[in-house]
Amino acid sequence: MVDLLEIFVFLFFLYLLSLCLLRIKFYKSRLQNKIYSNCCPVCSKPLDRHKRKRYVKEINTLTLNIFGFKRFYCINCKWIGLLAKYTKKIK
C-alpha cells in the first residue's frame, strides 16, 4: 500500500511543478509597453497601487510567494485586480 506521506509528497511536488509552469508562462504578469512600465490589462493605461488586503497575503503564502501578487487599479476603466511582480513586454 502507498503510504499517506508518499501521496502528500507527490501532491506537493505536483503543486510546486504547476506553480513553476504558471510562472514560466507569465501568469498574471504586469504588462509593459513603450510609454508605461505597468499597464492595465484591459485598456493599456497606467495602473496605480491599491492597498494590500489580507487575502492577498494569504494568496502569496499559498503560492509560496513565487508570483508576489500585488493589488492594482486603473483610474481609466476602473479595473481592480492582482498582478505578479514580474513584467512582460507588449509588442
Q: Say if residue 25's pLDDT is above 70.
A: yes
DSSP-assigned beta bridge partners for residue 30: 87
Q: Per-residue pLDDT tens for 27-78?
A: 888 888 788 888 888 888 899 988 888 988 998 898 888 888 899 999 999 9
Higher pLDDT, 78 or 85: 78
Q: Which domain holds residue 41?
A: 4-89
> What is the number of structural domains in the chain?
1
Burial class (CB in 10 A: 0-12, 13-18, 19+), 47: buried
Give the pTM: 0.73
| φ, ψ of residue 60 in degrees (nearest 5) | -65, -35
Secondary structure of 34-91 in the HEC alphabet? Answer: CCCCCECCCCCCEEEECCCCHHHHHHHHHCCCCCCCEEEEECCCCCEEEECCCEEECC
